[in-house]
């Protein structure tokens, strides 16, 4: 009935008659411009807010909302541009979906403008020195070790002066016990009670050690 084409139904006016009738307009399939326009309208008509992000650890695409997609990649794109500005990222545009800001596991990481402590420079007096020569010595001095030991002894004395129950909280806390374990060991029923007692313990210790801390 019709040549190889796409027949589009259109409501229009025929001749001088004022009655509206349904007739067809043929769009040749080899007309890329018109075909593309039609497909674009079709896509827009069925458009949804669903987007997809790539989770590198899982090696798969995950569907998300447009709002989540925009927020997710906004932070990543800002971070990646900052790294690229300093020459520390060579990720091509086609691979940016892989970025999760974990640069140390990324194959596109480069040294950029990060300098080594062994790099040398002129100190202004004709001497070539390394950056590490100007680092402060962070090793403890004998005086600081003695002071720390004295403070520790004072702390032990202070723990014997405060409420024994509060002292147990401090000991358990200092030994790495979780809040759940502390509450279970001391029979404390609620989180708020544990927090209150811990604040009271620290307050009493602070008062005793006010000349030291």
CATH classification of the domain holding 162: 1.10.10
- How far is it, in rounded angstroms, from Cα 62 to Cα 64? 6
- Looking at the fold, whether 22 and 66 belong to one and the same domain comes out as no
- Looking at the fold, whether 41 and 54 belong to one and the same domain comes out as no
The answer to whether residue 174 sits within a structural domain is yes
Query: What does the DSSP assignment read for 105-127?
Result: G-TTB--TTPPPTT-EEE-SSS-
pLDDT value of residue 61: 92
Question: Which of 65, 98, 113 is a domain's end point?
Answer: 113
- How far is it, in rounded angstroms, from Cα 74 to Cα 108? 20
The answer to whether residue 180 sits within a structural domain is yes
Structural domain for 16, as ranges:
5-45
- Looking at the fold, whether 59 and 40 belong to one and the same domain comes out as no
- Looking at the fold, whether 75 and 41 belong to one and the same domain comes out as no
Question: Which of 64, 89, 113 is a domain's end point?
Answer: 113
- Looking at the fold, whether 37 and 58 belong to one and the same domain comes out as no
- Looking at the fold, whether 91 and 65 belong to one and the same domain comes out as yes
pLDDT value of residue 14: 39
- How far is it, in rounded angstroms, from Cα 54 to Cα 96? 10
Tally the C-alpha atoms within 13 A of residue 189's C-alpha that lie toward its C-beta: 0
38 and 22 in contact (C-beta within 8 Å)?
no
Question: Which of 86, 113, 140 is a domain's end point?
Answer: 113
pLDDT value of residue 32: 40
The answer to whether residue 137 sits within a structural domain is no
Please state the domain count of the chain.
3
Phi, psi angle pair for 58, to nearest 5°: -95, -15
- Looking at the fold, whether 28 and 66 belong to one and the same domain comes out as no
The answer to whether residue 138 sits within a structural domain is no
The answer to whether residue 135 sits within a structural domain is no
The answer to whether residue 144 sits within a structural domain is no
- Looking at the fold, whether 27 and 64 belong to one and the same domain comes out as no
**118, 121, 124, 125 alpha-carbon torsion, rounded to 10°:** 60
79 and 55 in contact (C-beta within 8 Å)?
no
The answer to whether residue 107 sits within a structural domain is yes
- Looking at the fold, whether 108 and 54 belong to one and the same domain comes out as yes
One digit per residue, pLDDT tens: the chain, 213 residues? 434 443 334 334 334 444 444 443 333 444 343 334 333 344 444 456 788 989 888 888 999 999 899 988 898 999 888 888 888 888 888 988 889 888 888 888 887 776 666 666 666 677 777 766 666 666 777 778 888 888 888 888 999 999 999 999 999 988 888 888 999 999 998 888 998 999 999 999 999 988 876
* Three-class secondary structure of residue 138 per DSSP: coil
- How far is it, in rounded angstroms, from Cα 67 to Cα 64? 8
The answer to whether residue 129 sits within a structural domain is no
- Looking at the fold, whether 23 and 73 belong to one and the same domain comes out as no
Which of these, 67, 61, 64, 55, lies nearest to 98 by C-alpha position?
55
- Please provide the size of the chain in residues: 213
- Looking at the fold, whether 66 and 38 belong to one and the same domain comes out as no
- Looking at the fold, whether 56 and 37 belong to one and the same domain comes out as no
pLDDT value of residue 48: 62
């Amino acid at each position: 009935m019709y040549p190889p084409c796409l027949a589009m139904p259109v409501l229009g006016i025929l001749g001088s008659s004022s009655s509206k009738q349904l007739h067809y307009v043929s769009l040749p399939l080899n007309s890329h411009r018109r075909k593309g326009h039609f497909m674009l309208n079709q896509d827009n008509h069925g458009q949804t807010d669903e987007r997809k992000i790539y989770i590198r650890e899982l090696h798969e695409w995950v569907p998300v909302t447009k709002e989540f997609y925009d927020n997710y990649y906004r932070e990543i794109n800002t971070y990646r541009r900052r790294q690229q500005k300093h020459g520390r990222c060579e990720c091509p545009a086609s691979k940016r979906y892989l970025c999760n800001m974990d640069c140390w596991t990324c194959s596109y990481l480069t040294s950029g403008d990060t300098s080594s402590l062994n790099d040398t420079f002129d100190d202004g007096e004709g001497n070539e020195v390394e950056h590490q020569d100007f680092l402060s010595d962070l090793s403890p001095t004998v005086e600081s070790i003695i002071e720390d030991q004295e403070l520790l002894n004072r702390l032990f004395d202070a723990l014997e002066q405060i409420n024994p129950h509060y002292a147990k909280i401090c000991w358990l806390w200092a030994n790495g016990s979780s809040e759940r374990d502390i509450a279970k060991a001391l029979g404390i029923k609620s989180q708020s009670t544990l927090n209150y007692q811990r604040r009271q313990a620290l307050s009493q210790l602070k008062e005793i050690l006010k000349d030291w801390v």
